[in-house]
Structure 1
Amino acid sequence: MEAFLNFFETMPVWMKAGWIVFLLAFFWILEGNYSLVRFQYKKWKHARINIFLLVLVMVINTVFGVITTWLFVWLGESQFGLLYLINAPVWVELLLSILVLDLVAQYTVHYLLHKVPFMWRLHIVHHSDKHVDVTTGTRHHPFDFIIRETFALLALVIMGMPIAYYFLYRILTILFTYFSHANIALPGWLDKGLCLLFVTPNMHKFHHHYQMPWTDSNYGSIFSFWDRLFGTFVYDDTSKIKYGIDVADHRDDENIAVQLRIPFDRSVGKMQR
């Protein structure tokens, strides 16, 4: 276990970037052969804005990387956090850390991005994509990403976890983000079986439906049981899904300048809640 965790602690930046590129390419290829929806679109043109937003958040992530490193040093010196209060095997600490990260840094912040008005305006950019595919997983307004990363740091402080736990979790979230957004058709029995525990492509697609109440459902990233536990789980017929968001359907979803302005554009209406 120590060697396994040490791998993630010492994982070079190029390998982390390679993991992103590999997963994007892998699911991109699968989409071409096992599509859930047969989009009539120019895939590279559609991907351009989403990849551009990915580059922006990766730049921001370097700043958070400095903050995160400082936090880990401080946590180690002060021994602050829940993990310092319990005496548990490494695998138990790791599991608890992943669960808390997934609850705080994914489900909770995602829920708030839908419920808090100013946060929702930022998150509209993610939902404005009318052709949800693997690249949609990279589509976040920079300020949306900053809020998400802040909640991730909060989870770190709560747990006082080693850096290896955090890096392993980040690798897992990248996998599940691209997996759940990918335009792939899993066999029904497989998707329903997997979503008893994990977030699956079909499950997450209901979250990208253009209207309530489905838009405000299925907030999870890795584990589906948060949605089941808090009553936000939805599963239905995927043929009923229409991508996009009703309050921004009049905006160009493939224009980077338009998308970056959406949070400050008062012509974009508010969702009735």
Structure 2
Amino acid sequence: MPIWLKAGWVFFVLAVFWVLEGNYSLIKFRYKKWKHAKTNIALLFFVMVINAVFGVITLLVVEYGSIKNLGLLYIIDFPVWVELLFSILVLDLIAQYGVHYLLHKVKWMWRLHIVHHSDKHVDASTGTRHHPFDFVLRETFALVAVFIMGMPLSFYLFYRILSVLFTYFTHANISLPLAVDKGLSYLIVTPNMHKFHHHFELPWTDSNYGNMFSIWDRMFGTFIYEDVSKIEYGLDISNHTNDESLATQLRIPFNKKVVSK
């Protein structure tokens, strides 16, 4: 997929949820929305560059796997739709839930991930608020999943399209009817469900790691769904930092004044 088409999809989905959260807000923020988004969009630039580099690497891995017939999909023989669903589930488990869990549990990885949690006004733009080194780890895990599965590039592309959609959907400051949000959360990650993950303190911070499917959180005991009105954004160990300063955010992993849990 050309880089301009990737960027177009990202900004289209971001724009849709940007508009929706302006009319159906979960929390009425008193902030300058564009100023807040500036840092997150700047971090998105790094994300897009890293994604482009890994796109080339992924293409090489897929081609190598097809030549050598490496991967689970070369062993099993199921209908295409089953293989596609299986590939998406494995990608979601390894490249989303798995790496996200480690980002919270491994100390040096957590320091990278603090940047994502330092946002005190979680909205759609927070979806791609990642330190560059954080995103490199995510892309590396995705590459591992592609190699394990031996999936065609079309499967991976479809996964990325869905992943972008869910990233902005779950971070968007939108309010779905409680019954709808809670009902959907039995299968997929919903806006309310993911907001608990952005609560400023434990234990909620270490829960709801999923990106698309909520089944992993339910399966591994990391799922919670409480009273959404109790959520406070930010992070208790880094709330003294300027969450709207790009330079400050890029330095957080190396700033000894920012403590780790």
Q: How high is the TM-score relative to the length of structure 1?
A: 0.94
Dislocated runs of 4+, deviation >6 Å: none
Q: Whole-Å Cα distance in 2 between the matches of residues 24 and 239 of structure 1?
A: 24
User: Which of 115, 122, 127 in structure 2 is aligned with 1:125?
Assistant: 115
Give the distance between the partners of 1:16 and 1:149, measured in 2 at CA.
15
- Secondary structure at the residue paired with 2:40? helix
Summarize the alignment of residues 40-189 of structure 1 with structure 2, pairs less than 5 Å apart: 40-189=30-179
Q: CA offsets per residue over residues 7-45 of structure 1, 9 Å max, x none?
A: xxxx54433222111111111111111100000000000
Q: 1:171-217 deviations in whole A, cap 9, x for unaligned?
A: 00000000000000000011011111000000000000000000000
| Contact 2:95–2:142 (8 Å) recurs in 1 | yes
Any conservation in 1 of the 2:40–2:128 contact (CA below 8 Å)?
Answer: yes
CA contact (8 A) 2:7 2:48 kept: no
Q: Which amino acid aligns with 2:97?
A: Y
Indicate the percent of aligned positions where both proteins have the same amino acid: 68
Q: CA RMSD in A?
A: 0.8
* Equivalent residue runs for 1:166-245 within 5 Å: 166-245=156-235
The question of 1:258 aligning with 2:244 is answered: no
Q: Tell me how far apart the structure 2 counterparts of residues 16 and 250 of structure 1 sit (CA, whole Å).
A: 35
Q: CA deviation at 1:134?
A: 0.1
SS of the residue corresponding to residue 77 of structure 1 reads helix
- Aligned residue pairs total 261
| 1:37 aligned onto 2:23 | no
Counterpart CA distance in 1 for 2:213 and 2:66 is: 28
Q: TM-score, normalised by structure 2?
A: 0.99
Residues 130-169 of structure 1: CA distance to partner in whole angstroms, max 9, x if unpaired? 0000000010000000000000000011100000000000
Cα distance in 1 for residues equivalent to 2:135 and 2:70: 26
Segments of 5+ residues of structure 1 without an aligned counterpart are: 1-10
The CA distance in 2 between the partners of 1:19 and 1:66, in whole Å, is 19
